[in-house]
Structure 1
Amino acid sequence: MSDDMMIGTRIQEVRAAIEAARTRRTHVPAETPVELIAVTKNHPVEAMQAAIDAGIMNIGENRVQEALDKAQTLGRAVKWHLIGHLQTNKVKHAVRQFDLIHSVDSLRLAREIDKAAEKLGKVQNILVQVNLAREESKSGVYREDLDEILAVIDELPSIRLQGFMCIAPNYEDVEECRPLFRAMYELFQQVKAHAPHTADIRYLSMGMTHDYEIAVEEGANLVRVGTAIFGARQYALGV
């Protein structure tokens, strides 16, 4: 089987697993759709093209420059998601390239995105990254600081809050992710019910290759999957 066919087969397998996870939901409406983001960090444009040809519409990249380089030769229409940490000196390039920035983790970053979007005449859709597990190794807003950042975002005219992103700890037993994902869904629902007037709360981005099925069971409607689609990342010098 060719590499392109393998990518298509893996996408079908991931989609089937997502649908099965939806049927196992107990506290989330089963009909709530789930969008699959193919995470293409360190994978070549040819693999991305094969995934898109197999039905992928959402591409996730961790680094701004890598996305900019790939976009020049991709030759496909997709929705671009920035899922990695965003440095303030890359904000203007990120706003130009990405449809949805998942990783807004500070007031400073939110304000910089707003400024860059205003200059481009764009309203930039964002997610706030929440660090519910309080892992020092990960970015994200702590729960006790979330209300403040949401209030500030509500006053920034060139960004639109569309939900939240979280990354679970890399537990050896993946079931240990479940309480965190459930707590994140509850937080998502709370904010959605009392959304700031400029917000459009619709996305809960959580779950990666090792834990996306549990994330879907617990309420995720965006999942970020790379290895299960493309195999191990292909690291190259200079990437």
Structure 2
Amino acid sequence: MLIAAKLEQVSKRIADACERAHRHPSEINVIAVTKYVALTRAQEALDNGIVHLGENRWQDAKEKWEQLPLSSAVSSDKPIWHFIGSLQSNKAKDVVGKFDYIHSLDRLSLAKAIDKQAEQLDIVVPCFIQVNVSQELTKQGIMEGQVYDFLNELKNYRHIKPIGLMTMAPFEVEPEATRPVFRKLRQWRDDIQNRSDGTSSITELSMGMSNDFEVAIEEGATWIRLGTILVGEKEE
């Protein structure tokens, strides 16, 4: 199926989820996860009006980043790059300055590496703090009890701007089973905002993928990361 048809179906499901949650579809940002597909498929996504592209590893993103138009604050027809995978501290130099957002900030050593590279480039990097809400050993992210200490430590890194929280729910046959995970992340975001009297920069929620994005939207997601359902299966 062409991406245009997939996007039409996804947009309808987003609209229906928003209606159930009394939200507007404009509140939802869709990231097309292009990590498994070729350059031509990523280009097709851009041609259909998708501006946010997500990648897990620089070595997989490199060809697309070099050959597709670069992101621009004044041009909505160019890609905005999101790094959504686990990031090793020694790989921060490959990512900072190329990706507009990092969704997987989960430790101070990584914050230090991001900040150092961003300082050299004289930029500020918008980051999502990854929280392991499900407490799965196979998942990355800080534990819930570490959230406020981590936020306080991030104040020491002037070239990082924490803008939201990110989590990955367990894969469930029934998407409804993921609801407690997404709800908990939203509650954390809301609690951070309440404690700061609404002044905290933590406003966004990056949660929900192909299997569970509708539940995530109902629970407050502002960014959803869609791969298979939008750009297709892994290409050999």
**2:10 aligned to which of 8, 11, 14:** 14
CA RMSD of aligned residues (A): 1.8
Stretches of structure 2 that go unaligned for 5 or more consecutive residues are 71-77
In structure 2, the partner of 1:47 is 41
Show the 5 A alignment for 1:220-235. Answer: 220-235=221-236
**1:189 CA drift (Å):** 1.2
CA distance in 2, matches of 1:198, 1:161: 13
**1:197 CA drift (Å):** 10
**1:37 CA drift (Å):** 0.4
In structure 2, the partner of 1:179 is 180
Change (3 A) 1:186 1:197: closer
Aligned residue for 2:85, secondary structure, equals coil
Would you say 1:93 and 2:94 are equivalent positions? yes
In structure 2, the partner of 1:143 is 144
**1:198 CA drift (Å):** 9.1
Would you say 1:33 and 2:33 are equivalent positions? no
CA distance in 2, matches of 1:63, 1:125: 18
Taking structure 2 as the reference length, what is the TM-score of the superposition?
0.91
Would you say 1:69 and 2:70 are equivalent positions? no
**1:142-169 deviation per Cα after TM superposition (whole angstroms, max 9, x unaligned):** 0011111110112210100000110001
Would you say 1:106 and 2:89 are equivalent positions? no
Are the counterparts in 1 of residues 105 and 111 from structure 2 also a CA contact under 8 Å? yes
Identity value in percent: 37
CA distance in 2, matches of 1:193, 1:80: 30
| Structure 1 moving runs of 4+ over 2 Å | 192-202
CA distance in 1, matches of 2:57, 2:200: 26
**1:62-99 deviation per Cα after TM superposition (whole angstroms, max 9, x unaligned):** 11222222111123621100000001111011102110
In structure 1, the partner of 2:74 is none
Aligned residue for 1:223, secondary structure, equals strand
How many residues are matched? 228
Change (3 A) 1:195 1:119: farther
**1:30 CA drift (Å):** 1.3
Aligned residue for 1:37, secondary structure, equals strand
